Chains A and B, each alone.
Chain A
Amino acid sequence: MKIFRLPISILMGLFLFGMASASVIAQGSTPPPPDGEVREVTDNEVNSIAREVYCPVCESTPLDVCQTQACADWRDLIRTKLENGETRQDVYDYFAEQYGGRVLATPPREGLNLLLWIMPVAAVIIGGFFFSRFMKNLRMAGGDGKEDEIETVETAVVPPSSSPIPQSDDEYIAQVERELSK
């Protein structure tokens, strides 16, 4: 299993790094306005949040390009929330709570949603494991006598007194067997 340690460590490192970066990006950096003041919000700010939210009515349409009244209402709501000093993350949290995590392009990392983050990494690790096993079996089938399992079985099966390479009159086969046993 030693051969899996390095790739698994790299994958886990990348996964944790990705989660930390996404979290930092999602925090947003706009400071809240002083009490009672309304911050001026640009369309770009609204759209940058809206493109991470999906239309509740149309299938797979981000809010920033959706033309339905429902989407227009949601965009207005985003603007109002930003004007009141709420952060990008506050807006996402509100939408997830109010309409369910599925309206977000990046669902919250909690509950069953965590599986969306874990499954791809798990699939890569498991895939790597099976690929490595497959390659190992291929090598074994190719006659790599250094493999532990084969060595054990061979030692147990072949009596110590007998020759490791069976005698053969055919010089070619004998040559092949000698090469394979190296």
Chain B
Amino acid sequence: MSEEIESTVEKKSFSWGSAAVWAAVISLLALLGFGLMRSTETRPEAGETAPNVELKFFDGYEWEGRGVSSLEEMRGNVVILNFWSSWCVECRVEAKELEMNWKLHEDDGVIYLGIAHVDVEPKSIGYLEEFGITYPNAPDLGGTAAEKYNITGVPETFIIDQEGTIVHVQLGPISTRQLEAVIQSLIK
């Protein structure tokens, strides 16, 4: 008799509708948790692996003749990853120094890589021409690079070693002296 009661109660208490609603609730909570985790992500710091980014270079600013490349393909080189924008006043402070430094280390296995952040392409090209910049440059398509590096403004520079580890993060303009100090320690 008691078994009969239990099975009757059990049959009545399970419903596919309830199961579906609970599954939806759990999924929504999981998504909210995921969103919360993403919103609290911080900028990658020195000692962390540099996030990979895919790049489609501006015409005339390719890397080794390739129109499309990624940071992973640049492993084995020191990479100076510089976020900039044509509307950014402080970027203009460092633009010439970066170009001069690139010329200095072009054959030392150092890659200078500019990423135009939320910029309009004709303005970006105008800026590169204005400062006579010749090293590889690409727009930040979809804002993915800025998102991965969690940048909060421009200019920001990440110096990445041959193993793909970030060794220096510079918020604001970077000087030749700072660049040299880090680069010399990496190419010794």
User: Which residues of A approach B to under 8 Å, CB–CB?
Assistant: 1, 4, 56-57, 68-70, 73-74, 76-77, 97-100, 102-103, 115, 119, 122-123, 126, 129-130, 148-149, 152-153, 156-157
Distance from B161 Cβ to chain A, minimum over Cβ atoms (Å):
29
In the complex, the answer to whether A122 meets B24 with C-beta atoms within 8 Å is yes
Residues of A within 8 A of B136 (CB): none
User: Are the C-beta atoms of A97 and B141 separated by less than 8 Å?
Assistant: yes
Q: Does B186 count as interface, using CB distance less than 8 angstroms?
A: no
Query: In the complex, how many angstroms separate the beta carbon of B130 from the nearest chain A beta carbon?
Result: 15
Residues from chain B with a CB closer than 8 A to the CB of A115 are: 31
- Asked if residues B118 and A156 are in contact (CB atoms below 8 Å), the reply is no
Known: A74-B120, A77-B120. A156 touches B5 (CB 8 A): yes
B144 & A100 in contact (Cβ 8 Å cutoff): yes
Contact assessment for B123 and A73 in the assembled complex, using a CB-CB cutoff below 8 Å: yes
Chain B CB within 10 Å — which of A57, A76, A97 has the most?
Answer: A57
Chain B residues lying within 8 Å of A102, measured Cβ to Cβ, are 143
- The answer on a CB contact under 8 Å between B5 and A70 is no
A-B contact count (CB 8 A): 63
**Contact present for B143 and A148 (CB under 8 Å):** no
From known contacts A126-B24, A129-B21, A156-B8, infer whether A98 and B141 are also in contact, taking CB-CB under 8 Å: yes
Check B87 against A68 for contact (C-beta < 8 Å). yes
Q: Smallest distance from the beta carbon of B128 to chain A beta carbons, Å?
A: 15
| A70 x B118 contact (CB < 8 A) | yes
Does any Cβ of A come within 8 Å of B17's Cβ?
yes
Contact A100 B4, beta carbon cutoff 8 Å: no
Distance (whole angstroms) from the CB of B2 to the closest CB of chain A: 9
Query: Could you tell me the distance between the alpha carbons of A148 and B11 in the complex, rounded to whole angstroms?
Result: 12
Report whether A152 and B120 are in contact in the complex, using a CB–CB cutoff of 8 Å: no
Is there contact, CB below 8 Å, between B123 and A100? no
**Interface residues in B1-36 (C-beta closer than 8 Å to A):** 4-5, 8-9, 12-13, 15, 17, 21, 24-25, 28, 31
* Contact in complex: B28, A122 (CB < 8 Å): yes
Complex CA–CA separation, A43 to B123 (angstroms) = 21
- Choose among B8, B21, B143 the residue that contacts A99 (Cβ–Cβ < 8 A): B143
B164 at interface by CB-CB < 8 Å? no
Residues of B within 8 A of A73 (CB): 86-87, 119-120, 123
Instruction: From the candidates B9, B28, B85, name the one contacting A153 in the complex (CB within 8 A).
Output: B9
Give A47 to B3 CA distance when docked, in angstroms. 72
